[in-house]
Amino acid sequence: MHRYLRTLARFWSASLAAEMEYPANFVLELLAEVGNLAGSLFVLSLLYGPGQSLGGWSWNAALVVLGFYTLLEGLTSTLFQPNLSTIVTHVQNGTLDFVLLKPIDSQFWLSVRTFSPWGLPGMAMGVGLILVAALRAGAVLGPGTVAAAAVLLLASAAILYSLWFVIAATSIWFVKVWNATEVLRSTLVAGRYPVSVYPAGLRAFFTFVLPVAFLTTVPAEAVLGRASGSWMAASVVVAAACLVISRAIWRYALRFYTSASS
């Protein structure tokens, strides 16, 4: 465990140093994040007519959901996307061989090798939005609420990671799966809004097939202090199941990996 932590620190400090070579990126990414958030807020404001609620959620409560979405999107561009997109490249170029030969778990290596700091402003904005909106919604952020929210946030991060990782792992069979991650990304946009907004069929889809509900709605309810025990338990169970499945699929996929040009 200690070895893994030390390796992680090395990985991230190295990639941080590499990324700092391009300071202009920071301004561009910040502009993009601010623009995206402003646009999302604008659309949300359109959905809330005068004195209306959306799927039973007040304006401020819906902002908490949007905050979680922004936070998770920042996490995706900081960790998931840069790392998991390279799995595809490794498979295409046959360099996955070298990763498998390393004296460290291959899933760990592939999942955390790089770190892109440009998603951090988005994550900070997400946290800020969650806090401001929760306080304005009248939530009491006691230690119990914060702990529950933290656990559920970890669970949603684990679910999101597993979704990305499983799709990237299928590149061992299908090689070019980059488009599949685009499909995932474009569907996860649904997490910008509380899941109760959607019609019944879509709501079931976003809960049982693609667990968007557990990504943003359930943590938001925890912050607002109204999450039910069963939803919280379900969230943790889904997260654990997703992690186990992602691990199993990776092991299974490796049995089919026969290096490049074969």
Partner 1 sequence: MTAPREPRARAVWPLVRVLLSTQYAYMLEYRAEIALWALSGVLPLIMLGVWSGSGAGEAAGFTPAMLTRYFLAAFVVRQFTVVWVIHVFEEDNLQGRLSPYLLQPLHPFWRYLAAHVAEQVTRVPFVAALLALLFLLQPSLLWWPQRADVFWGVLATVAAFILRFLLQGVIAMACFWSERALALERLLLIPYLFLSGLVAPLETFPPGVRAFALATPFPYTVAFPARVLMGAEVNLGAGFLGLALWSGLFLILFLVLWRAGIRRYSAMGA
What would you report as the CA-atom Rg of the chain, rounded to the nearest whole angstrom?
A: 19
Q: What angle do CA 248, 254, 258 make, to 5 degrees?
A: 165
Q: Considering only 4-12, 50-58, 79-87, 158-166, which stretch makes contact with partner 1 by CB under 8 A?
A: 50-58
Q: Of 58, 85, 106, 187, which one interacts with partner 1 (CB under 8 A)? A: 187
Examine residue 18 and tell whether it contacts partner 1 (CB under 8 A).
Answer: no
Q: Report d(CA 175, CA 158) in Å as an integer.
A: 24
Q: Report d(CA 230, CA 218) in Å as an integer.
A: 11
Q: Considering only 85-93, 146-154, 183-191, 235-243, which stretch makes contact with partner 1 by CB under 8 A?
A: 183-191
Cβ distance to partner 1 smaller for residue 49 or 143: 49
Cβ distance to partner 1 smaller for residue 127 or 180: 180
Q: How far is the CB of 226 from partner 1 (least distance, A)?
A: 19
Tokens 């474009």 locate to: 186
Q: How far is the CB of 141 from partner 1 (least distance, A)?
A: 28
Cβ distance to partner 1 smaller for residue 4 or 22: 22
Element (H, E) at 107: helix 106-112
Examine residue 179 and tell whether it contacts partner 1 (CB under 8 A).
Answer: yes
Helical spans, DSSP H, in 49-177: 59-75, 81-93, 96-101, 106-112, 120-136, 143-169, 171-174
Q: Of 12, 19, 55, 59, which one interacts with partner 1 (CB under 8 A)? A: 55
Q: Hey, is 118 helix, strand or coil? A: helix
- One-letter identity of residue 127: V
Q: Of 42, 143, 230, 262, which one interacts with partner 1 (CB under 8 A)? A: 42
Q: Report d(CA 36, CA 256) in Å as an integer.
A: 40
- One-letter identity of residue 167: I
Q: Of 7, 8, 25, 124, which one interacts with partner 1 (CB under 8 A)? A: 25
Tokens of 251: 């092991």
**Who's near 233: CB < 8 A, 6+ residues apart?**
none
> Contacts with partner 1: how many residues (CB under 8 A)?
35
Q: Which residues form the interface with partner 1 (CB under 8 A)?
A: 24-25, 28, 31-32, 35-36, 39, 42-43, 46-50, 52, 54-55, 176, 179-180, 182-183, 185-187, 189-190, 193, 196-199, 201-202
